[in-house]
Structure 1
Amino acid sequence: MWFRRVSGALAMAFTLLAAGGVQAQGNNDIFTVRNVAVDETAQTAADARQAALAVGQRRAFRRLMGRLVPEDQQARIPDVDANLLQYYVLDFSVNNERTSTVRYLADLTFRFNPHEIRKLLRGAEVAFAETRGKPVVVLPVFSDPVTEPTLWTDENPWREIWAQRPGDDGLVPLTVPLGDLGDLAAIDAPQALAGDAAALRAIAERYGAEDVVVAEATLSGDPESGSGVLQVVSRRYNDGTAGATQRDKLVQVSGEPYDGFLQRAAARIDSSIQETWKQQYLLQFGNQRSLLAFIPLGSLDDWLILRRRLEGVAAIQQTGLVTLSREEAQMEITFVGDEQRLTRALAQRDLFLALRPDSNWELTLADRRPRSPAGASELPPPATAPLPQ
């Protein structure tokens, strides 16, 4: 039987997890900040490069803080001295490097030390999140007094603005469809505005997502003369089912270019998505608890996949093997927060935690479990609320 042949390897896998299951390594990409543009001038190229690295390091740190820390906690972030900031960086890389005798330009990538960043924030009692969400597809629908609602046509400057935005800078990756033939066949503007469940599921599946945000922007006034007004409505759908809705009105400010006006509106929607997510997944270090989970054993591959996915769950502080049999393993999971937050965080890694009929917890791969497991009770999702303004 499979179990007899690989039981030693399986026990070793459990032992390795028990020894090294704290703050798993799979989550560390969240602490990498990419595409930090720098352009510095000095008396020499070497001095310009040194200045650029210092500026880039500071910008990357601010972007990382914006990624992890909610807006209402930003003022609590310690002001790290420039000479000390380098100790929070593991390494950096350089792309698109260009130099002259006095100038240095490049796109930099910084990898920050997760342990040191966590220690910095916890020491200052700054609440933060580091659970990466699944991709969300954004459908920017635009209309103005002379243009019917449009999604894929060239008369959609709103979509162009969204396509230019970096979609992976927050904890929730935002994906704007390419607008190819497959996208056009999946959904159009009327279907998006009507919340057509089948069409929304089709476009989400094309990009490996479950959620879709329909971002509808209606323009009035004359943005070329600085008198534009945008009515923006963003509706979020999960598996085609309507969720939170945000409504906003933006007025163009004096001297603001049309593109900048649209960029400000897109940034506000993006920020609202990220802020809502961070509030839901704040790490509650003052509330630590543990549970015993039963893990059905199907194959060694299933176990290895489950272990890798567990490594990306920020709320899990430690795991330990309790018992091992031919049918299942029992694992103690120490985590911060409550069971509902843990269940949601595990779901982002395609892991399913549910109560069995015998009131014990069962942990399985989400893509291996039956769609409606008999007797299993999943914790309810959080209440749906409008995204913050």
Structure 2
Amino acid sequence: MTLPRCYVKILDPMSFATSALRGIITVLGIAFVAVYAGFAAAQTGSVYAVGSVAVDETAESAATARDIALKKGQVLAYQRLLDRIVPANDRSKLSPLPEAQLLQLVSGIEVTKEKTSSVRYLAKLVVRFNPSAVRSYLRNAGIQFAETESKPLIVLPVFRSQATQQLWDASNLWLRVWRELPLSDGLINLIVPEGATADIAEISAEQAVEGNDERIKSISQRYGAAVALLTIATVKQSHGEKIVEVSTSRLDPGGADQTSVQSFVSNKEISLQEVLAGAAANLRREIEENWKLDNLIRFDDRRELLAEASLRGLPELISLQKKLEEVSLIKKAELVRLSLSAALIRLRYLGSPEQLKLALAQHDMALTQGSVYWKLQASNQ
């Protein structure tokens, strides 16, 4: 295989006088861009793998039931993949795929928890799709899609009713319905804390509503979340009906807070818990849809920029390379210049600089505008 060429300018040549160091830099220069020979090699693994696909089929024999189950499992996985990466408005434009065409999109199936009888077959499947094949199919169909996975968000559901506000209380219906939502395998992982002793000690309802940065940051970090989602459900009485007003704020350190307000009605036919459950499901769906719309891959918008990254040794350069590999918007990265303390990298990418910033942030990298070059650094620096 022919590797792409990489022209690397070494600053401070006296610092790289030994043949061993020269060899290391040469290898690094080639290795840094080798993984970008094809866009399909970028971040795709978890996005194009659909797990926990349950199948249960009965037929005249277990073998026949298995064949039917595997076919139906692939169809279910394909629908879940579309739900994950394609905006809702575009999914309706896609016609059902013929079996032969669907098989061309599947790269492999992993079977777990397999059980059989003489006529029945049960299993859990992990269906892996070929990223390049799926991209080509969707692009040819004129369908936009997103691949950027968000870092986890922690949900803080505060319930206000009869002049009280609750967060970890057992009577908090808003927290309860969030916990009971079925698992979602979208591009955003929403974490709802259990309300354990550590959670209770870390933040109260009052501190959450006040937006106590220190407490919110502390519980977010403990759960491995980058952003907190504060959602407040307030119950009010109006003409014999209960009105539920839901105010949701995305508390993003270093970014502008985003707040939305929605209202829902509970009456004799619909219980308060049912209204809250529907509101939580609707809100999660809205969050996932907005994320997809913000991160649609724009194949017709190709750009490039030069970014300078500060380095403190070889391990940081290798770590930087691995992180850039995971960003699906980056089509190619070239090492332009390298010194003991910094690397200048040309990034060829799809979409706007704001989209690139957002995608890099999901991998703990911050991209900022500098006086000459863009600056690329770990977001915790």
Q: What is the TM-score with the length of structure 2 in the denominator? A: 0.84
Q: Shift in Å at residue 140 of structure 1?
A: 2.1
SS of the residue corresponding to residue 199 of structure 1 reads helix
Corresponding residue for residue 109 of structure 2: 92
State yes or no: 1:365 paired with 2:378.
yes
Cα–Cα, structure 1 residues 215 and 37, in superposed 2: closer, same or farther, change >3 Å? farther
Aligned equivalent of 1:187, options 190, 203, 216:
203
Cα–Cα, structure 1 residues 355 and 240, in superposed 2: closer, same or farther, change >3 Å? closer
1:167 and 1:173 in contact (8 A); partners too: no
Amino acid of the structure 2 residue aligned with 1:324: L
Structure-2 separation of matches of 1:299 and 1:7:
15
1:137 and 1:207 in contact (8 A); partners too: yes
Structure 1 stretch 93-102 or stretch 27-36: which is displaced more? 93-102
Trace 1:40-189 onto structure 2 (pairs within 5 A).
40-144=57-161, 148-165=164-181, 169-189=185-205
Amino acid of the structure 2 residue aligned with 1:366: S
Aligned equivalent of 1:268, options 282, 289, 314:
282
2:42 and 2:328 in contact (8 A); partners too: no
Aligned equivalent of 1:13, options 28, 34, 39:
28
Structure 1 stretch 193-202 or stretch 61-70: which is displaced more? 193-202
Give a deviation string over 1:110-152, Cα, whole Å, max 9, x none.
111111111111111211111111110012223455x943222
Structure 1 stretch 323-332 or stretch 265-274: which is displaced more? 323-332
Q: Shift in Å at residue 68 of structure 1?
A: 0.8
Aligned equivalent of 1:207, options 211, 220, 223:
223
Root-mean-square deviation (CA, aligned residues, Å) is: 2.8
Give a deviation string over 1:68-125, Cα, whole Å, max 9, x none.
1112222233532123212211222233333333333332221111111111111112
Q: Shift in Å at residue 168 of structure 1?
A: 5.6
Structure-1 separation of matches of 2:22 and 2:242:
68
Cα–Cα, structure 1 residues 329 and 7, in superposed 2: closer, same or farther, change >3 Å? farther
Aligned equivalent of 2:355, options 341, 357, 361:
341
SS of the residue corresponding to residue 67 of structure 1 reads helix
1:195 and 1:240 in contact (8 A); partners too: no
Aligned equivalent of 2:337, options 320, 323, 327:
323
Give a deviation string over 1:246-300, Cα, whole Å, max 9, x none.
2223346998787665443222111111111112111111011212223333211
Q: Shift in Å at residue 65 of structure 1?
A: 0.9
Structure-2 separation of matches of 1:42 and 1:231:
50
Cα–Cα, structure 1 residues 168 and 349, in superposed 2: closer, same or farther, change >3 Å? farther
Q: Shift in Å at residue 60 of structure 1?
A: 1.3
SS of the residue corresponding to residue 142 of structure 2 reads coil
1:289 and 1:334 in contact (8 A); partners too: yes
Cα–Cα, structure 1 residues 293 and 235, in superposed 2: closer, same or farther, change >3 Å? closer
State yes or no: 1:278 paired with 2:295.
no
Q: Shift in Å at residue 171 of structure 1?
A: 1.2
Unaligned runs of 5+ in 2: 1-13
2:35 and 2:325 in contact (8 A); partners too: no
Unaligned runs of 5+ in 1: 222-226, 370-389
Give percent identity, aligned residues only. Answer: 35
Amino acid of the structure 1 residue aligned with 2:140: G
Corresponding residue for residue 36 of structure 1: 53
Q: What is the TM-score with the length of structure 1 in the denominator? A: 0.83
Amino acid of the structure 1 residue aligned with 2:190: L
Q: Shift in Å at residue 334 of structure 1?
A: 0.9
Structure-2 separation of matches of 1:35 and 1:360:
45
Structure-2 separation of matches of 1:314 and 1:328:
24
Cα–Cα, structure 1 residues 154 and 291, in superposed 2: closer, same or farther, change >3 Å? same
**Structure showing greater Rg:** 2
Q: Shift in Å at residue 37 of structure 1?
A: 2.3
Cα–Cα, structure 1 residues 234 and 326, in superposed 2: closer, same or farther, change >3 Å? closer
Corresponding residue for residue 376 of structure 1: none
SS of the residue corresponding to residue 172 of structure 1 reads coil
1:26 and 1:308 in contact (8 A); partners too: no
Amino acid of the structure 2 residue aligned with 1:362: K
SS of the residue corresponding to residue 257 of structure 2 reads strand
Give a deviation string over 1:166-199, Cα, whole Å, max 9, x none.
5561112111112221111111222223322222
Amino acid of the structure 2 residue aligned with 1:35: S
Structure-2 separation of matches of 1:240 and 1:167:
29
Aligned length: 361
Amino acid of the structure 2 residue aligned with 1:11: T
